[in-house]
Amino acid sequence: MLTSFIWLAAALALLAYAIIIYNGLVNLKHAIGKAWSNIDVLLKQRHDELPKLVETCRQHMQFERSALEQVMAARAGSQQAREAGDIRAVGQAESRLRGGLGSIIATVEAYPELKADHSIQQLLGRITGLENAIADRREFYNETVNLNNVRIEQFPDVLIARLFTFRAAELLQFSADETRDVDLHALFSR
């Protein structure tokens, strides 16, 4: 009788532990989804601002058309990748988009009439604010993904993760150009 009770208590403790692990993994899975949704909202907001910036810049005849086309092409690529749920492609497209924005900013700095245009400055300020928010959310997203990926590989969590097919998530990474120091001379010599 006492032995049966000990086995039952041990089985219940093991079941409770497995439930705690499962619930923790579910919590992380949903935290990743929430973190991605926060990034997606900011990306959409920035993508909504870009056509306004491009149209305002187009009104100035001297503005470099290639920079505008690069930004709009990268915007379209990023939008397609987001809709497909391809995190790696989003990172690549966002890197191209940020490069195009750097070209626009350098061009605005090179032309006094563009630099003085209140609409352009307002749009650039809004986009810069969104860029900063995206960077913050990206850091949070990647931290959540890392926690998830570590948990599903650690013992005993790996047993529950495999049993219920929890999958590793992909980090949102931008190109290596994003991590290099900015070459201001190259930016302003265009």
Number of domains in the chain: 1
Domain limits at 123? 33-188
What is the DSSP code (8-state) at residue 63?
S
Q: Is 21 helix (H, G, I), strand (E, B) or coil?
A: helix
SS3 (DSSP) at 75:
helix
Q: Is residue 11, in this structure, part of any structural domain at all? A: no
Within-domain flag for 68:
yes
Q: Phi-psi bin for 60: left (phi > 0), alpha (psi -120 to 50), beta?
A: beta
- In this predicted structure, what is the pLDDT of residue 179? 47
Report yes or no on 160 lying in a domain: yes
pTM above 0.75, yes or no: no
Using alpha carbons only, give the angle 17, 23, 28 rounded to the nearest 5 degrees.
130
Residue 114 in domain? yes
% of the chain exceeding 70 in pLDDT: 87
Closest by CA to 78, choosing from 104, 55, 101, is: 101
Does residue 97 form part of some domain? yes
Q: How far apart (Å, rounded) are the C-alpha atoms in residues 6 and 9?
A: 5
Q: With a cut of 70, say whether residue 162 has pLDDT above it.
A: yes
Q: What is the greatest pairwise CA distance in the chain?
A: 91
The predicted structure's pLDDT at residue 176: 58
- Residue 165: inside a domain, yes or no? yes
Q: CATH number of the domain at 88, please.
A: 1.20.1440.20
HEC-encoded secondary structure of the chain: CHHHHHHHHHHHHHHHHHHHHHHHHHHHHHHHHHHHHHHHHHHHHHHHHHHHHHHHHHCCCCCCHHHHHHHHHHHHHHHHHHHHCCHHHHHHHHHHHHHHHHHHHHHHHHCHHHHCCHHHHHHHHHHHHHHHHHHHHHHHHHHHHHHHHHHCCCCCHHHHHHHCCCCCCCCCCCCHHHCCCCCHHHHHCC
| 6 domain-assigned | no
Structural contact between residues 70 and 99, judged by C-beta atoms closer than 8 angstroms: yes
Q: Over the stretch 16-58, which tens digit does the pLDDT of each residue have?
A: 999 999 999 999 999 999 999 999 899 889 888 888 887 777 7
Structural domain includes residue 182: yes
